[in-house]
Chains A and B, each alone.
Chain A
Amino acid sequence: DAGVIQSPRHEVTEMGQEVTLRCKPISGHNSLFWYRQTMMRGLELLIYFNNNVPIDDSGMPEDRFSAKMPNASFSTLKIQPSEPRDSAVYFCASSFSGLAGQAGELFFGEGSRLTVL
């Protein structure tokens, strides 16, 4: 089975440019999560979706960040305009959430390493 697929794996861009990161979750999973990892702040939850609906976006740092999940097999995280402090590794993860309040095992993609110059 294919795991969570993220693209691009690496992106280098100039400050002010738009960045779009993509994620394909594991088929059958109903929850999708976007995390950001930096040395300083560790792994931060940005936003997550249940059944394609955004549930909690309180971790999205600013209005420059937006995420969508138009269907069960695709999600995007967009940064517009990008800034150097957005440089990080962005991870997408998916899971099957059954019982309410129960966090299932997360399956992570390999991440998208973003460098904003």
Chain B
Amino acid sequence: SQQGEEDPQALSIQEGENATMNCSYKTSINNLQWYRQNSGRGLVHLILIRSNEREKHSGRLRVTLDTSKKSSSLLITASRAADTASYFCATPRANQAGTALIFGKGTTLSVSS
């Protein structure tokens, strides 16, 4: 079963604009991760935010986490054509023996020049 759900499903913007993607999840988490997938490739880790953090930056990426609303957002500033990809949030699902990441269905971002 999926834990995180991204919104919107698809987003089209022009180069230079900002792109915001949202993720909602259902259960308590200790961290949330964002990944990127270029067409035909594997997923690549972008950023991890812990439950005691509210905001985190990495280059042109800004991630927020609101544990009271069970939601996170990924902001890409000054987007470039090379940012065209699918973006996924992932949350941990733990049992007594281990922890796995569960992914949402992703937001497909298209940046046109």
Contact = CB atoms under 8 A, between A and B. Distances in A.
Contacts, number: 75
Interface on chain A toward B: helix, strand, loop, or mixed SS?
Answer: strand
Q: Which of B88, B95, B97 has the most CB of A within 10 A?
A: B97
A102 B106 contact: no
A41 to B, nearest CB: 8
Size category, A interface? 20 to 34
Contacts of A56: 95, 97-98, 100
Interface in A97-117: 97, 100-103, 105-111
Contacts of B88: 43
B82 interface: no
B37 to A, nearest CB: 8
B101 interface: yes
Interface string A29-61: 001010100000011010010100101100000
Nearest to B46: A105
A93 B88 CA distance: 15
Interface in B80-113: 88, 90, 92-95, 97-106
Given A4-B42, A48-B100, A91-B43, 12 more contacts: A35-B103, A42-B105, A43-B88, A43-B105, A45-B101, A45-B103, A55-B98, A55-B100, A97-B98, A103-B92, A106-B43, A110-B42
In order of increasing CB-CB distance, the 6 nearest A-B pairs are A108-B42, A103-B92, A42-B105, A55-B98, A43-B103, A105-B45
